[in-house]
Amino acid sequence: MKTRAEWDAARIKLIEECARLDDELDWSLALHFGRDAEHVLTLSQNVIWRVPVDTKLDLLTEALERAHLIDEVPVLVPALRSIFRIRNLLAHSVTIEHSATVAKLRTVNRGKLKVEKIDATSLQHAVRNAAACRFHFDRVEGRIGSTEAWGRLYGFDH
């Protein structure tokens, strides 16, 4: 990435992908923990979005294990942790310098000014991994919780 515009475009792309992933994560957890369609909607709209992402990822691991799906998507949770860590860095920092391969970011963490570096390869890899994570969510969505609730939510009444 040679220009600031290219860095900014990659940053925006990752933040947008993470917004989609966060929605998928919330929906998967609501499907897993909801007893029926009404509970799933209540959890999705009023509860799960309030939970910190690290806690949601712990809950996702638990849900995937309970549903015996963890072996189908073994890299999903570790990839999400990495992607969200990069997203948080990008969302809460200012680019102070960049080259074709590295950007320096100024951030404040718990009141302390820090300068972090991110390389272009890591950022591009995170964007690609985010797309792969959406694919993994698609693989488990209908099976992570009640298939009856999932079917009702998608109009497949029994």
Render pLDDT for 78-118 as a digit per residue (tens, 0 to 9).
999 999 999 999 999 999 999 999 999 999 888 999 999 99
pLDDT digits (tens, 9 = 90+) for 27-83: 999 999 998 888 889 999 999 999 999 999 999 999 999 999 999 999 999 999 999
Domain residue limits, the chain: 4-153
CA atoms within 13 Å, Cβ hemisphere of 105? 23
Q: What is the pLDDT of residue 32?
A: 93
pTM over 0.85: yes
